């Protein structure tokens, strides 16, 4: 159940991994689309928090081309709906997330990513 | 009362049966629901707006469900236990779940969440379940990373069961060192069973909410109160001791003697000396 809204917030937290630790790159993905109740107000308020470039890249890597490459100044309802679909309805069930900085792989199984680190990777 | 923290580490304690209880047992469910409701109240999210909330240690997703009902979007951490995952999956919760050890810190972009709640979780952080675990270090890591991923202004509310005042001190000081404001909110402080501790942490300037049925106590107040109670006990002990002796001493020697002579006369004892102004006076030393 990794939705892209969460993925867009997630960075690698391995010790001393501060460069290129966002976004995590998906691979071997099994994608599920689940309908979610529409809440465009929420999406609109969430916009400032989003990293648009990362979101579009990730969405394209998952095969969704509905988002424009640059963030529009004003969103039409149509675009917000597309954004809602990408953020809230696309769930990654199985796969891997790889950090580009340190190469740590977070495995996703049953929709739950394993964010546990080995002792030597835990930050201080 | 047995404390689960003392029995086994969480990944062993919350085995299949323990985890199952949290969805099957209606009493546990109602307590959890009450605490979540109160935590949400303390969180004071803006009404009629859905927020992005972090649920730390969501377990079966019970508190998450309540967040959903309020229309919030949530992300939950499960402590590293497979049983919880199974239970949570069966319930088909809507939030995103992550398998995580909160003592390791989180990787979230700064300012992500509008709030964070956690029900009966952080006392587990105080246990060192393996040689490499150091509770102060884990607490510090937890609070600093949490502080950075919360929005300004926002709140984080933790319900927890401390086993001693030292533990409370330790948790609160770790939180303050990480930059959080706020303090403890104690509900029903006079009841042993219903008493609940909420740690209400704030990012940015805000006022600490009041506890239910009893005054809210910030950390300094709690310490002051304890000091007062200590002094009170000492004062009572001292004054009580004096009172006992004074009770006897209040009667002067002369009164006592007169009383005794009266008593002998009424009993008809012979040879009781007459009362005079010399009664009960000391004999001077004679040369």
Q: What is the pLDDT of residues A33-58, one digit of tens each?
A: 888 888 888 888 888 888 888 888 88
CATH of the domain at A111: 2.20.25.10
**Interchain CB distance below 8 Å, A13 and B98:** no
Q: Say if residue B267 is in the same domain as residue B232.
A: no
Q: Say if residue B241 is in the same domain as residue B275.
A: no
What's the confidence (pLDDT) of residue B273?
Answer: 92
What's the confidence (pLDDT) of residue B99?
Answer: 80
Nearest to B60 by CA among B27, B89, B17, B102: B89
Q: pTM for this one?
A: 0.73
Phi and psi at residue A88, to the nearest 5°:
-105, -20
CATH of the domain at B202: 3.40.50.150
Average pLDDT, integer, range B119-127: 81
Establish, for the pair of chains A and B, how many residue pairs have beta carbons separated by less than 8 Å.
77
**From the CA of A68, how many Å to the nearest CA of chain B?**
23
Could you give the ipTM of this predicted complex? 0.86
What's the confidence (pLDDT) of residue B91?
Answer: 64
Nearest to A116 among B50, B80, B97 (CB): B80
What's the confidence (pLDDT) of residue B224?
Answer: 67
**Overall number of domains in chain B:** 2
Spatial distance between the Cα atoms of B165 and B213, rounded to a whole number of angstroms: 21
Instruction: Outline where DSSP puts E strands in B129-241.
Output: 150-160, 181-187, 196-203
Q: Say if residue B101 is in the same domain as residue B206.
A: yes
Q: Say if residue B222 is in the same domain as residue B118.
A: yes
**From the CA of A47, how many Å to the nearest CA of chain B?**
11
Give the distance from CA A94 to its chain's centroid. 14
Range of the domain at A53: 2-121
Range of the domain at B149: 4-245
Question: Looking at residue A69, what DSSP letter applies?
Answer: S
**Interchain CB distance below 8 Å, A123 and B141:** yes
Residues of A in contact with B132 (CB under 8 A): 119
Instruction: Catalogue the long-range contacts made by A109-114 (C-beta closer than 8 Å, 24 or more residues apart).
Output: A110/B85, A110/B89, A111/A1, A111/A2, A111/A32, A111/B89, A111/B97, A112/A1, A112/B78, A112/B85, A112/B97, A112/B98, A112/B99, A113/A2, A113/B98, A113/B99, A114/B99
What's the confidence (pLDDT) of residue A124?
Answer: 66
Report pLDDT digits (tens) over B83-117.
Answer: 566 666 666 667 777 887 778 877 888 888 888 88
Q: Say if residue B280 is in the same domain as residue B172.
A: no
Q: Say if residue B133 is in the same domain as residue B268.
A: no
User: Looking at per-residue confidence, does B206 or A88 come out higher?
Assistant: A88
Q: Which two tokens stand for residue B127?
A: 């246990």
B263 pLDDT above the threshold of 90:
yes
Q: Say if residue B233 is in the same domain as residue B110.
A: yes
Q: Say if residue B237 is in the same domain as residue B257.
A: no
**Overall number of domains in chain A:** 1
What's the confidence (pLDDT) of residue A102?
Answer: 84
Residues 94-123 of B with CB under 8 A from A: 94-101, 104-109, 111-112
What's the confidence (pLDDT) of residue B95?
Answer: 74
Q: Say if residue B190 is in the same domain as residue B224.
A: yes
Report pLDDT digits (tens) over B125-167.
Answer: 887 777 777 888 888 888 888 888 888 888 888 888 888 888 8
Average pLDDT, integer, range B271-282: 91
Q: Say if residue B132 is in the same domain as residue B115.
A: yes
Q: Say if residue B238 is in the same domain as residue B264.
A: no
Average pLDDT, integer, range A3-8: 85
Spatial distance between the Cα atoms of B212 and A14, rounded to a whole number of angstroms: 41
Burial of A93 (0-12, 13-18, 19+ CB in 10 A): middle
B78 pLDDT above the threshold of 80:
no
Report pLDDT digits (tens) over A52-101.
Answer: 888 888 888 888 888 888 888 788 888 888 888 888 888 888 888 888 88
**Interchain CB distance below 8 Å, B49 and A41:** yes
What's the confidence (pLDDT) of residue B244?
Answer: 52
Nearest to A26 by CA among A86, A115, A108: A108
Cα dist from B131 to A117, B19, B128, B134, B139, whole Å:
16, 26, 7, 8, 16
The set of residues, in sequence order, having a beta carbon less than 8 Å from that of B44 and lying 6+ positions away, is B155, B209
Report pLDDT digits (tens) over B23-51.
Answer: 677 887 788 888 888 888 888 887 777 88
Spatial distance between the Cα atoms of B60 and B91, rounded to a whole number of angstroms: 8
Nearest residue in chain B measured CA to CA from A8: B109
CB contact burial A108-124 (16+ within 10 A = b; e otherwise):
beebbbbbbbeeebbbe
Q: Say if residue B221 is in the same domain as residue B274.
A: no
Q: Which residues pair with B76 in a beta bridge?
A: B55, B97
What's the confidence (pLDDT) of residue B218?
Answer: 56
Nearest to B105 among A6, A13, A88 (CB): A13
């Amino acid at each position: 159940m990794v939705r892209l809204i969460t993925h867009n917030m997630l960075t690698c937290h391995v010790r001393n991994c501060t460069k290129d630790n966002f976004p995590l790159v998906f691979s071997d993905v099994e994608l599920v689309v689940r309908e979610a109740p529409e809440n465009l107000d929420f999406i609109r308020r969430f916009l400032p928090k989003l990293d648009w470039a990362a979101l579009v890249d990730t969405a394209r890597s998952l095969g969704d081309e509905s988002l424009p490459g640059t963030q529009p100044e004003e969103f039409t309802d149509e675009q917000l709906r597309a954004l809602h679909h990408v953020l809230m309805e696309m769930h990654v069930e199985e796969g891997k997330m790889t950090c580009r900085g340190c190469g740590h792989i977070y495995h996703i199984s049953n929709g739950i990513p394993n964010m546990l680190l080995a002792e030597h990777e835990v930050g201080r | 009362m047995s404390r689960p923290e003392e029995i086994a580490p969480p990944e062993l304690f919350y085995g299949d049966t323990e985890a199952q209880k949290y969805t099957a047992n209606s009493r546990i469910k109602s307590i959890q629901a009450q605490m979540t409701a109160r935590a949400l109240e303390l969180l004071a999210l803006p009404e009629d707006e859905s927020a992005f909330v972090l649920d730390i240690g969501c377990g079966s997703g019970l508190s998450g469900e309540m967040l959903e009902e309020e229309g919030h979007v949530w992300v939950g951490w499960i402590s590293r236990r497979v049983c919880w995952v199974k239970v949570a999956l069966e319930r088909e919760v809507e939030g995103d779940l992550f398998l995580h050890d909160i003592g390791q810190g989180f990787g979230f972009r700064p300012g992500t969440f509008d709030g964070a709640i956690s029900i009966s979780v952080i006392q587990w952080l105080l246990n060192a379940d393996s040689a490499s675990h150091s509770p102060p270090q884990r607490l510090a890591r937890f609070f600093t990373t949490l502080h950075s991923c919360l929005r300004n202004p926002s709140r984080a509310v933790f319900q927890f069961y401390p086993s001693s005042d030292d533990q409370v001190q330790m948790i609160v000081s770790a939180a303050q060192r990480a930059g959080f404001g706020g303090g403890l909110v104690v509900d029903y402080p006079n009841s042993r069973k219903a008493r609940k501790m909420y740690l209400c942490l704030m990012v940015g300037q805000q006022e600490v909410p009041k506890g239910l049925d009893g005054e809210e106590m910030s950390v300094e107040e709690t310490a002051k109160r304890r000091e007062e109670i200590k002094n009170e006990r000492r004062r009572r002990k001292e004054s009580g001791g004096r009172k006992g002796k004074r009770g006897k001493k209040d009667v002067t020697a002369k009164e006592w003697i007169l009383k005794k002579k009266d008593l002998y006369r009424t009993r008809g004892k012979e040879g009781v000396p007459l009362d005079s102004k010399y009664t009960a006076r000391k004999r001077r030393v004679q040369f």
